[in-house]
Amino acid sequence: MFIHRRPRWRLSENRVTPESVHQGRRAVLAALGLGGAALGLAGLGAAWPEGEAGAAPSEAPIAPPPPRNPAFADAGRPPTPERIAARYNNFYEFGSHKQIHARAQALVVDPWTIVIDGLVEKPFEIGFEDLLARMPIEERIVRHRCVEAWSMVVPWIGFPLAELVRLAAPRAEARHVRFETVLDPEAMPGQRQSWYPWPYVEGLTLAEATNPLAFMVTGAYGKTLHKQFGAPLRLHLPWKYGFKSIKSIRRISFVKERPVSFWETLQPDEYGFWANVNPDVPHRRWSQADERDIATGDRIPTRLFNGYAEEVAHLYAGMPQQGRDLWF
């Protein structure tokens, strides 16, 4: 018999603010001349009219809509409106600023092949659509916390990373999973900057990769995945800082040694392998004690493991509870 235990972070659905009410609050603030202060993001409170220059196009709705995983029915606060989340993105392959949504439309995502190799029973390549057909697709509403101390809530669509690990059939000596982003400097102008160690690389322990929270994202807001979100396939790890959630994945390798990630290569004292959210350990240049909601501008106290400690803290049992290595 399946027994569903309500996670600590969930609210009942009747306590989740409907988007229409949330937007009504924003309209009132704007009428009072408080919109910019409430948002904390100039220009993102304005309407997003169809055909607006530079606006990210609507992606194709997914039909039929995938089921929502009841363990992730809400994240404790309303989902960030799509027009805000889709226009505030870190994707250094397209530039070092947040408004890369228009430039990201140059990314070619069809066809798309993912390479599965390394310490697996049999390395293989698989097309994105073929991979989707073999995975249990669902929706999850989860928090996303950036190392820059801002946050959002997104209704992601995808499948548990553990299912892909099962498909890959790693050998016994595999201890880590290494992810690599597509290398396409023609479409991705940021990759022409030789001082960065392209392609973008990230890594997890196999135990982290098979934790139920680790999620491979293929869509958002009921639609196929926006290119600026990392289409067609990205990772999301809600208990870690956002730079661990690698975008536009082209290769997944099972390895013994711990991978050295993109930002760890550049600045190991600031962006280490673990990158677990911890309000008690500041970044070298700013506090991590709280975060800014990009939709409202509200300051929110940051929680250990972004509020998902019950689900992931056991992964780090016996490791030092203080010190930068565990968290960064």
Residue 258's nearest CA partner among 209, 203, 323 is 203
Tens digit of each residue's pLDDT, the chain (328 residues)? 333 344 444 444 343 444 443 444 334 333 333 333 333 333 333 333 333 434 455 689 999 999 999 999 989 999 999 999 999 999 999 999 999 999 999 999 999 999 999 999 999 999 999 999 999 999 999 999 999 999 999 999 999 999 999 999 999 999 999 999 999 999 999 999 999 999 999 999 999 999 999 999 999 999 999 999 999 999 999 999 999 999 999 999 999 999 999 999 999 989 999 999 999 999 999 999 999 999 999 999 999 999 999 999 999 988 865 555 555 5
- Asked if 125 and 115 touch (Cβ cutoff 8 Å), the reply is yes
Q: Note the pLDDT of residue 293.
A: 98
Cβ(120)–Cβ(177) below 8 Å:
no
Residue with tokens 């990630």: 261
Q: What is the pLDDT of residue 224?
A: 97
**281 contacts: CB under 8 Å, gap ≥ 6:** 288, 322, 324, 327, 328
State the pLDDT at residue 319.
Answer: 81
φ/ψ bin of 161: left (φ > 0), alpha (ψ from -120 to 50), beta (otherwise): alpha
Question: Cα–Cα distances in Å, from 126 out to 110, 116, 129, 132, 136?
Answer: 13, 8, 8, 10, 16
Q: List strands edge to edge, sheet with 176-181.
A: 124-127, 113-118, 249-255, 176-181, 201-205
The span from the CA of 327 to the CA of 271, in Å, is 9
The answer to whether residues 224 and 218 touch, using CB atoms and an 8 Å cutoff, is yes
- Cα R_g (the chain), whole angstroms: 19
Burial letters 225-241, b for 16+ CB under 10 A, else e: bbbbbbbbbbbbbbbbb
- pTM for the full model? 0.84
Model pLDDT, residue 13: 38
For the beta carbon of residue 85, count every other beta carbon within 10 angstroms.
23
Beta strands in the chain (DSSP E): 113-118, 124-127, 138-145, 150-160, 176-181, 201-205, 215-220, 223-224, 234-236, 249-255, 290-293, 299-301
Cα dihedral value 169, 171, 177, 182, nearest 10: -60
Q: How far apart are CA 97 and CA 221, in angstroms?
A: 23
List beta partners, residue 140: 156
The contacts found for 190-194 with CB under 8 angstroms, 24 or more apart, are 190/91, 190/92, 190/93, 190/94, 190/95, 190/96, 191/93
Q: How many helices (H) and strands (E) are present in the chain, helices listed first? A: 9, 12
